[in-house]
A = this chain, B = another copy of it.
Amino acid sequence: MSKTIDHVAENLNQLINEKIHSLESPVERAMALIGDKYSLLIIHALYQFEKQRFVELETQISGISPRTLSARLKHLERYGLISRHQFPTIPPRVEYALTDKGQGLANTLTELTAWANQWYPYKP
């Protein structure tokens, strides 16, 4: 069952990947990859803290379920925005980090951050 889902997801991603380049609007191309609630939060967390383990990301991103986090990480890895490094320890340690492509995306968040701070300041 899980294999079937992975297979369907893989085919879907292939189709999406081919389709991305054919979208005329650059914002549309970006949204095809990161147009969901959590992708930019994951990118931002990895930008701030460099390497992060699954549980660390779970703590950084409030309200995300392990299932969703896992799905988003797979998605971002598949599209080359993050890398996954597994250490041969017992128990195995897995760390996620930004690739160059992901780093470039993280750099675009500076202005978004300034915008949010201007219009929606943090009030604890």
Contact indicator A22/B112 (Cβ below 8 Å): no
Contact indicator B40/A37 (Cβ below 8 Å): no
A interface residue count range (under 10 / 10 to 19 / 20 to 34 / 35 or more): 35 or more
A118→B120 CA distance, assembly (Å):
30
Integer count of this chain's copies in the complex? 2
Contact flag A21-B122 (CB < 8 Å), given A27-B44, A31-B40, A35-B37: yes
Q: Which of A33, A35, A120 has the most chain B CB atoms closer than 10 A to its own CB? A: A120
A90 is an interface residue with CB less than 8 A from chain B? no
Contact flag A35-B44 (CB < 8 Å), given A108-B111, A116-B30: no
A9 is an interface residue with CB less than 8 A from chain B? no
A29 is an interface residue with CB less than 8 A from chain B? yes
Least distance between A121 CB and chain B CB atoms (Å): 7
The 7 closest A-B pairs by CB, nearest first: A35-B37, A108-B111, A26-B116, A21-B123, A26-B113, A30-B116, A27-B44
